[in-house]
């Protein structure tokens, strides 16, 4: 069975899938932490691997950038490949003054400026929230680390567009950071009665650009978030 975007065979994916935006980060994760990783998809270059970590099955696959792309892959994994939980491991731009570049954010909920969840339930502003069980497992794995933050983020459609006053207002409301996928992924998980979580590394800060990561660092500096994501995946 193949879908329009995934050529894997039935059973090629583990019940838990780690999902970075960048397919090359998926490859790095597979090569770095998986035992015997096997390439199970390369349609459109959206690399996916399945292997084991600590003796337990695990898959990793890129989502691409933005909520439409992430929605396609999460829908196909949940609907056609028997996947039960997806943990996004991505980067985020810091918004709260309490987070710094290199810190990790566990996103309990995701505000959004996107229409992706708007039509899910007629007349309702959908609440895009993480699986409590997965969030709890990630928080437990973080122990007393003081660079791990738990709270809300915003998933925006634009990477570059600046809306006057928006970032400061989000900071005032305690929003920790911005990404471009989490809200839609939480919506898809709710649609299929499955579990999703987002664990992000702060790669840059929207209110202080002085310590922003380089493109190379964005692709490779994810060890802390990865450890929490694997703990959640196998909880
Ligand atoms: O590092 P990833 O997981 O791709 O996440 C963030 O980086 C991309 C933008 O540079 C968007 O996909 C955003 O959500
Ligand atoms: O969406 C994102 C992700 C990382 N950094 C940003 O500034 N925005």
pLDDT tens series, the chain, 235 aa: 799 999 999 999 999 999 999 999 999 999 999 999 999 999 999 999 999 999 999 999 999 999 999 999 999 999 999 999 999 999 999 999 999 999 999 999 999 999 999 999 999 999 999 999 999 999 999 999 999 999 999 999 999 999 999 999 999 999 999 999 999 999 999 999 999 999 999 999 999 889 999 988 887 778 999 999 999 999 9
Counting ligands in written order, the one closest to the CA of 158 is: 2
* Of 211, 206, 213, residue with least CA distance to 25: 213
Largest CA distance in the chain: 50
Question: Which of 95, 178, 206 most suits a substitution to test ligand 2, by most atoms within 8 Å of the C-beta?
Answer: 178
Question: What are the pocket residues of ligand 2 if the criterion is a CB atom closer than 6 Å to any ligand atom?
Answer: 91-93, 159, 178-180, 203-204
Residues with CB under 6 A from ligand 1: 20-22, 65, 90-91, 159, 179-181
Given the residues 35, 204, 208, 223, select the one marked as catalytic. Answer: 204
Q: Which atom of ligand 1 is nearest to the CA of 91?
A: 1
Cα 85–Cα 87–Cα 93 angle in degrees, nearest 5: 155
Residue pair 196/74 in contact (Cβ under 8 Å)? The answer is yes
Q: How far is the C-alpha of 60 from the C-alpha of 166, rounded, in Å? A: 33
Q: Whose CA is nearest to atom 4 of ligand 1?
A: 21
Enter the pTM of the model. 0.97
The Å distance, Cα 37 to ligand 2 centre, comes to 29
Distance CA 179, CA 197 (A): 13
Residue nearest to atom 8 of ligand 2 (CA): 93
Q: Is 35 a catalytic residue?
A: no
- Delineate the domains of the chain, giving CATH numbers in brackets: 16-233 (3.40.50.1580)
Cα(92) to centroid(ligand 1), Å: 7
- Interface ipTM: 0.98
**How many angstroms separate the alpha carbon of residue 203 from the centre of ligand 1?**
10
């Amino acid at each position: 069975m193949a879908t329009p975007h995934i050529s894997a065979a039935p059973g090629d994916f583990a019940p838990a899938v780690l999902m970075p935006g960048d397919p090359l980060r998926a490859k790095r994760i597979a090569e770095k932490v998986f035992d015997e990783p096997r390439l199970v998809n390369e349609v459109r270059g959206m690399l996916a691997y399945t292997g084991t970590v600590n003796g337990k099955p695990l898959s990793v696959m890129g989502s691409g950038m933005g909520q439409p792309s992430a929605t396609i892959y999460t829908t196909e994994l949940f609907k056609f490949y028997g996947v039960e939980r997806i943990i996004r491991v991505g980067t985020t731009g810091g918004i709260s003054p309490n987070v710094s570049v290199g810190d990790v954010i566990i996103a309990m909920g995701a505000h959004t400026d996107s229409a992706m969840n708007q039509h899910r339930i007629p007349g309702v502003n959908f609440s895009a929230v993480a699986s409590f069980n997965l969030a709890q497992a990630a928080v437990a794995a973080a122990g007393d680390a003081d660079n791990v933050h738990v709270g809300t983020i915003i998933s925006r459609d634009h990477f570059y567009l600046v809306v006057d006053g928006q970032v400061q207002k989000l900071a005032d409301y305690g929003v920790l950071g911005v990404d471009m996928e989490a809200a839609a992924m939480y919506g898809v998980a709710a649609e299929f009665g499955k579990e999703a979580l987002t664990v992000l590394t702060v790669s840059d800060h929207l209110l202080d650009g002085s310590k922003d990561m380089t493109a190379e660092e964005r692709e490779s500096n994810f060890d802390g978030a990865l450890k929490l994501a694997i703990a959640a995946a196998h909880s």
